[in-house]
Amino acid sequence: MKPLADCRLYAFVDTAYLQGRAPEIVAQQLCDGGSDLIQLRAKKSSPDEIRRMAETILSITRRANIGLVINDQVEIARDLGAEFCHLGQEDFFDAGHTHCSEVRNQKPEVRIGLSTHSPEQAERALTAGADYLAIGPVYATGTKPTAKPVTLEYVRWAAANVGVPWFAIGGINLENLGDVLAAGASRVCVVSAILNAPDVARACAEFRRRLA
């Protein structure tokens, strides 16, 4: 896969948006559209269900030379050899962790991404050794309806202060992407604007074109 610093479009296989589609079919469409990273996010699935989905998707992402991110489930990422695991504040700091080496657990090749919602959280995540940060939610989003938008101000702060790769996330679509990029982002996470599109691969390709 391409170096993390060169990744621009971070897409999702989010079971909340599959609408009956098979996860592996959507994963292939995301690969075909030019996604640089793909996260498996299945908040309401059991660990066994997530493991089965991850095994199937991992074979697809590896053929496409695209990194797979497992949401929340570090053990599954370690066991399957997924390239990344993404954790929220509650899954990392609230669980008592202070450094990413603690959750890698002798698997240093598993890289860790952390969600952040403020400069203070970003600085703490950097101190913890996160490989990348998610900066958001920039706008209100149905993916996390109770989360307060951090606005473009946090994006501007990240552009000036975060040295590791970071991805703007939350309510980003083709209409507001220009504003996000103008605020200093060069990488974005996109969920609903791609998964709800009539043609997933084409939607990915358009985001890739704009990000280039």
Q: Which residue has the tokens 């695209």?
A: 66
Q: Which residue has the tokens 């697809």?
A: 60
Q: Which domain holds residue 25?
A: 4-211
The whole-number pLDDT of residue 88 equals 95
Tell me what the pLDDT averaged over the chain comes to. 95
Rounded-to-integer distance, Cα 212 and Cα 197, Å: 20
Take residue 18 and report the two structure tokens written for it: 């599959």
Tally the domains of the chain.
1
* Total number of residues shown for the chain: 212
Q: What pTM was estimated for this model as a whole?
A: 0.95
Rounded-to-integer distance, Cα 132 and Cα 121, Å: 13
Q: What is the CATH number of the domain that holds 51?
A: 3.20.20.70
Do strands 132-135 and 37-41 pair parallel, antiparallel, or not at all (unpaired)? Answer: unpaired
What does each C-alpha distance from 51 to 67, 106, 124 come to in angstroms? Answer: 16, 20, 30
Take residue 27 and report the two structure tokens written for it: 């994963």
Residue 133 pairs with which residues in a beta bridge? Answer: 114, 166
What does each C-alpha distance from 25 to 38, 60, 68, 202 come to in angstroms? Answer: 13, 9, 15, 14
Distant-in-sequence, close-in-space partners of 20: CB < 8 Å, separation ≥ 6: none
Give the model confidence (pLDDT) of 91-112 as tens digits.
Answer: 999 999 999 999 987 677 899 9
Give the model confidence (pLDDT) of 159-201 as tens digits.
Answer: 999 999 999 999 999 999 999 999 999 999 999 999 999 999 9
